[in-house]
Amino acid sequence: MYDSDIKDNEWLILIKRRGPKVPELEVRKKLNGLLYLIKTGCQWRMLPKEYGDWRRIYSQFLRWRDSGILDKLLAALNKIMRASKGKKATPSLMIIDTQSVKTVQKGGRAGMTETKKLKAENGVCS
């Protein structure tokens, strides 16, 4: 339905790793809802109704996150995506880049306009 939805071949790989039997359609809808949220950055309450009630998806997300399943699930999906692009399952090199941006701090009299300086000197409150 949406670009973010899990494909049938990806689902077949993931379904083999599942634990207790839960209706597959329900689990897949919740997973698709979560993937939609991750891809679009929308708010929980803004999830399309096709995925079901956002509260249920959020509850499932919390359970998957707290149990560690979400990390395993996303790692498995990452391997599938890399393999589909002809890459190795795991990267051989990773580069992390950070950047610090210095900002000008305003403070004291330097950050005041002439009017504010005069009011401050005369004890006038605005």
In a domain, 18, yes or no: yes
Q: What is the mean pLDDT of residues 101-124?
A: 62
Residue 34 has pLDDT above 70, yes or no: yes
Number of domains forming the structure of the chain: 1
Look up the domain containing 48 and give its range.
8-84
Q: What is the mean pLDDT of residues 98-119?
A: 62
In a domain, 2, yes or no: no
pLDDT at 106: 57
- Rounded Cα distance between 80 and 96, Å, is 22
In a domain, 91, yes or no: no
Residue 85 has pLDDT above 70, yes or no: yes
In a domain, 78, yes or no: yes
In a domain, 100, yes or no: no
In a domain, 1, yes or no: no
- Rounded Cα distance between 5 and 101, Å, is 37
Q: What is the pLDDT of residues 53-66, one digit of tens each?
A: 999 999 999 998 99
In a domain, 124, yes or no: no
